[in-house]
Structure formats: structure tokens, C-alpha cells
Amino acid sequence: MKQNLRVIIDRHGPPDIMKLVEETLPEPGPGQVRLRIRAAGVGYSDVMAQRGGYPLAPRLPFTPGYDLAGVVDKVGVGVEGMAEGQTVAALHPDFGCYARYLCVPASILVPYPAHLEAAEVASLVLNYLTAHCILHKKAKVRRGDSALVHSAAGGVGTALIQLGVLAGLTLYGTASRAKTDLVRQLGAIPIDYQTEDFVAVLRDAVPGGVDAAFDPMGGANLRRSYRAVKPGGRVVCYGFAGNHFGGLLPMASGVLQMTALNLLPDGKRVSLCATPTECRKDACWYRDTLALLIDLLAKDVIKPVVGASFPLAEVSRAHALLESGKAVGKVVLVCAE
């Protein structure tokens, strides 16, 4: 008899507080589909949730994970257009993807060709949706624009560079020295944040300032990103993690900081991209954009950087890698038996 295996966080702390529990398979309700998850993405939001610094996480106990690629295992009553064995991807805005099996609303599922690698498809879901939202919904970039990408060798950063190159942007990306080669290979001009001041580098390279900057940290880094942007330019914030594990206070102060910056009379505008919220608000954008990204992957136009993959049972190692700051690209959990 098949059993489910999923990760549980019942208290906050370091990576080893996460537990694996075995249980009976969940049954899909009306309008739901049970998925056998092949790969689940690991994001910094999951790490912050584990540490207790992600205000959008469910109440304890919960199972982390926003993004997945899997196979339809069972179809609930009232579901049309889905068949057992179909390969699908999804962003699940309520978390829960660190599992072998998961029941989700059929409405959030987007099919993908079975020959694609599940780890690469899972890497598209949160990271590339976030990058696409930042570039096209928030910053509204135009061909020929210049942009600053922070954490350029990370999951969202590598997605921003690839999609930014497709959009015809000139890109500058901050990364540690060990990761600058990757940033350059992807098509951006690397800035070693450990030895270089990105504001000074950009002042020399683009004297008037870049058209846009994309910041996942908030705080002092957001203020400096703002300085690097030209009058009338755009700054998109997609996190307030800082150098720690987030928290309600950094998020609240980040929102206040954005409000204050938007009051300055220089025409610059700061906006926030929270991808799960965007997917809830605009289901058509979510489905259409994820389908577009899957098509680009199938045509080899984009290639997610999967930096590391771990079996579901080694989830603590996956989180420890992200906490170390040494991860490159996307970290993925292999959930299938």
C-alpha cells in the first residue's frame, strides 16, 4: 500500500528541526487533484519559514514548499481536463510541496511535456514567475534598458538574467567572487559585492543611473539600490530578508521604507513583487505566464540553473546549503520514491 511522506515544521529553529512523517495518502476533494510530486523547489522563503521569520507562512505545524512538478495520481469529483499520468506544474500559494503526494485545486495546475526534467520544470515555477513579474508587471522594462540584479547567481537572480537577456536589457549582477563567472556566462556584467561598491561601479558604468534595480534584501541595500537608479527609474523589491532570516519587523519596516522612498520628488518608483499573492490575484496571468515559461524551456530558449538536488529525506541538507550562502541557482528536492 502506498504511503505519503512529507516534511513537517512544528517549531522554529535550525534546519535539523524539520521532521519526516509517514501517513496514509490524502484523498482529493471536489475540484481537487492528487499529485505524485517528482520535484519540489526549495526557496529562501522556506528557510525563513523554518526559522520563524516568514510572516506569510502557515501556522505551526506546516509543510513548506511553494513550487512543484509532478504527475496526476488521482482526480477528484468535478475535475475536467486532467487525467491520471499527466505531468503538471504548480505554484501552491498555501505551501505544502515538500511531500511525495499532495492534493491541490485543479485550477492551479499547468501541464508540461513529459520529456522535460522535473527539476528544471520545478525551477521555473516560483523563480521564473517571480522574475517575469518583476521585469514585465512591475518594472515594465523596455528593450535597451539597463538593470541591476542582486543575488544574481541565485534562483531568482539567474532567472532575471536569462529573461532580461531575452528582453534585450543590459544587466549588471552582484554576486560573490566565486559566482561571478556564472553571472557573466548567463549574460550579465558581474559586480563582486565583497570587494566592490555596486553604487560606485554603476556610477562609472552608467553615469545617469540604471533604468531599474531588483532587490531581495531591503533595508540599507534597498536604499543603495535606489541611489543606483536614474531619476524616473524603477526599483522592485521582492523580499526583506536582509542578511538574516527575515521577520515581521524587517517586513513592516521595509514596507514603510518603500512608502517613504516613493514620496521623494525624483520620479523614481519602488514597488513590491510577492509572487504567491500575484498568482492569487491574477490567475490568468499565472497560468498563461507559466505556460509561456514551460514553452521556452521546451524550446531550449531558457535553461534553469539547478545548483543542487537532494532526496526528500535530506531536506535539512538542502536548507543548510541555502543558509550557508553557497547555493548557486535553484535547490530542488526529489520527492518521488
Q: What is the pLDDT of residue 253?
A: 78
Residue 28 φ/ψ region, left for φ over 0, alpha for ψ in the -120 to 50 degree band, beta for the rest: beta
Q: Which residue has the cell 535547490?
A: 331
What is the average pLDDT score of the chain?
95
CATH superfamily of this structure's domain 126-276:
NAD(P)-binding Rossmann-like Domain (3.40.50.720)
Say whether 126-276 and 4-124+284-334 share the same fold: no
Are 157 and 213 spatial neighbours (Cβ–Cβ below 8 Å)? no
Q: In the chain, where are the structural domains located?
A: 4-124+284-334, 126-276
User: Given pLDDT bands bounded at 50, 70 and 90, which one contains residue 243?
Assistant: low
- How much of the chain exceeds pLDDT 70, in percent? 99
Kindly state the helix (H) or strand (E) to which residue 104 belongs, with its residue range. Answer: strand 101-105
- How much of the chain exceeds pLDDT 90, in percent? 91
201 vs 258, which has greater pLDDT?
Answer: 201
Helical spans, DSSP H, in the chain: 44-51, 118-123, 129-132, 155-166, 180-186, 198-205, 219-228, 248-262, 275-281, 283-298, 315-324
* DSSP string over 157-171: HHHHHHHHHHTT-EE
Arch. (CATH architecture) of 4-124+284-334: Alpha-Beta Complex (3.90)
User: Given pLDDT bands bounded at 50, 70 and 90, which one contains residue 255?
Assistant: confident
User: Given pLDDT bands bounded at 50, 70 and 90, which one contains residue 252?
Assistant: confident
- Residue 127 has which C-alpha cell? 523563480
Residue 53 φ/ψ region, left for φ over 0, alpha for ψ in the -120 to 50 degree band, beta for the rest: alpha
Q: Is 269 helix (H, G, I), strand (E, B) or coil?
A: strand
